[in-house]
Structure 1
Amino acid sequence: MMNKNKTVVRSMDILNLFIDHTELSFHEIIKLSEIPKTSVYRMLQTLEEIGFIKKGADDNYRLDMLFLKFGHLVSNRLDVRKIAYPIMQGIHKDFKEAVILAIRDGKEAIYVEIINEKQKVRINTAIGHKSPLYVGACPRAIFSFLPEYEINVFLESVELESYAEGTITDMEKLFKRIKQERQQGFSISHSELENHISAVAAPIYNHLGEVVAAMGIAGFEANYQGGNIDIFVGELLKATIEISRQLGYEQP
């Protein structure tokens, strides 16, 4: 590409040095990058201020937690999608319902995979679409299984908005629903994000026992009554347990 920002490119050159080195001194960075001393000094200050690198007591530089966090998120997202996709295809083939995979993105859930080729009812959700964590089965299957302090901090900072006729906008009812979902191990929604559409969803955990995603089955609400819910939930929990296992999660 033409018109590359020289400072950005040079900063990336510095960061790329840490692919092969766990730590580097100021002079080693200058030597390896072949960037002028004053430029290296300025860029290291900026990279340190925004949290990409950290200068230790020994004056050596190392990658800081923000950079490692981004790498961890990318790894999780790619692994979850890759592992989940064939399992999602199997569920879709069996039930002819939409199968959805979502991950957390701050205060929202973002849909990273959707399979709904065989379903007669169109779901107005697309890959890349975001929803608040408290609305809908998939987002809440992430939200309800976060540590309690994270749930409380989130709810203290958000105003509950209505998206469809079934959206929970009463804080007391939402707390009650979260408690219920934590106990039963899955989430269910009726007309929360879209009228006449229901869904069931369950959390997916990584090797640290953290919720990193949720998988859901969604379709016309008439199909999500009585015994059908038990059938959907049974298959869903088997699927999310298997995905979590492949991510290194060990059930307590």
Structure 2
Amino acid sequence: MANRNNPDFDKDADAQGGGVQSVDRALHILEILAREGDAGVSEIAEEMGVHKSTVSRLMGSLVGRDLVRQNNERGKYQLGFGILRLATSIPGRLSVVHEARDVLESLAAKYKETVNLAVLRSNYAVNVDQAMGPSTLATYDWVGSLTPLHATSSGKVLLAALTVDERDQLLKRVGLPARTPRTITNRTELETQLLDVSRQGYAVVHEEFEIGLTAVAVPIYNHLGNVIAAVSISGPAFRFTPEDHPGLMEGLREAGLTISAKMGYRRR
């Protein structure tokens, strides 16, 4: 019977697995260091159930690639700056429009309404992509439209993510003009609503931007946990009441988190 405490056992296993096991173990080491902050060879070997020599051998490779570093000559190990270089190369290559596309289509098919993806640009919520539901009423193309932040569900999600100072400066520039009789034009009332948006994780508007239009939106986060976009579902007010639609809120939240995960966000 093979002895796991024998370092030759690990070498034989690596050879049989064509190196795949070594890769898996190296990734396991990185995950442990990411979770713990730092750890010694003995601690890592114990958690992984392998011999210390196996961990030492893998550490040598990781240190050589600058993915791991040692605090001092005999200290514990931490993630190295090589990890940071790899991580920072990803966001620039990620497009929220590209990553969100399949999710938008899925939402539109499931809830049979119009789904939009919006970002904050030049004091407005700009719709950058859209998926149409099967309804014949859902025919308006919102892509490229500049919509007011204070009167739309996506806009309120984006506003709620700003700091108080950022929001104050922005709203001083654009004001709170009424789009319909239901538009919130009082700053105190808006701030109260934005606190609710932050707490609840979604924003709903009933005919604030356009009479007859209801919408709900949730945030999309990047790898740093910052809100970078919002995904919304909108439909005619006579048939679309998101708060009363079974499972819609949770489904939309899950969709937002799915897109966020594609952008590098890690759920808390």
TM-based fold match above 0.5: yes
**Cα distance in 2, alignment partners of residues 80 and 243 from structure 1:** 8
Retained in 2: the 8 A contact 1:217–1:232?
Answer: no
* Residues 10-159 of structure 1: pairs in structure 2 closer than 5 A: 75=92, 79-122=95-138, 124-159=140-175
- Matches of 2:141 and 2:187, distance apart in 1: 25
CA distance in 2, matches of 1:225, 1:202: 12
1:246 equivalent in alignment to 2:244: no
User: Does residue 224 of the first structure (1) align with residue 266 of the second (2)?
Assistant: no
Q: Partner of 1:180: helix, strand, or coil?
A: helix
Given candidates 183, 192, 195, the residue that maps to 1:167 is 183
Instruction: Give the drift of 1:124.
Output: 4.4
Distance 2:153 2:92 in 1: 24
- Give distance in 1, aligned partners of 2:164 and 2:265: 20
TM-score w.r.t. length of structure 1: 0.65
Deviation at 1:146, TM superposition (A): 2.1
The AA in structure 1 aligned to 2:126 is I
SS in 1 for 2:259: helix
Residue 152 of structure 2 aligns with an amino acid whose one-letter code is G
| Correspondence for 1:53 | none
**Aligned in 2, Cα 1:160/1:86: closer, same or farther, shift over 3 Å?**
same
Partner residue, 2:217? 201
How far the C-alpha of 1:136 sits from its partner, in A, is 0.6
Cα distance in 2 for partners of 1:218, 1:135 equals 13
1:179 to 190, 195, 207: 195
Give the partner amino acid of 2:161: F
Whether contact under 8 Å (2:216, 2:242) holds in the other structure is no
> TM-score, normalized by length of structure 2?
0.61
Aligned-residue offset at 1:148: 2.9
Per the alignment, residue 82 of structure 2 pairs with: none
CA distance in 2, matches of 1:143, 1:226: 21
Q: May I ask how many residue pairs the two structures share in their alignment?
A: 178
Post-superposition offset of 1:115: 1.4
Secondary structure in 1 aligned to 2:196? helix
Structure 1 alignment gaps of length 5 or more = 1-71
Offset from partner CA, 1:8-52 (integer Å, 9 cap, x none):
xxxxxxxxxxxxxxxxxxxxxxxxxxxxxxxxxxxxxxxxxxxxx
Shift of 1:231: 2.3
Whole-Å Cα distance in 2 between the matches of residues 182 and 192 of structure 1? 19
Structure 2 residue aligned with 1:214: 230
Query: What amino acid does structure 1 have at the position aligned with 2:184?
Result: I
Gap change, CA 1:171 and 1:124, over 3 Å in 2:
farther
Cα distance in 2 for residues equivalent to 1:196 and 1:100? 17
| 1:90-137 CA distance string (max 9 Å, x none) | 111111110010011021111011112512323645210001222210
Measured at CA, do residues 243 and 183 of structure 1 come closer, stay the same or move farther in structure 2, by a change above 3 Å? same
Aligned-pair identity (%) = 27
Amino acid at match of 2:185: T
Which of 207, 222, 233 aligns to 1:191? It is 207
Asked if 1 retains the 8 angstrom alpha-carbon contact of 2:242 and 2:248, the reply is: no
Bigger radius of gyration: 2
Amino acid at match of 2:142: A
Amino acid at match of 1:167: T
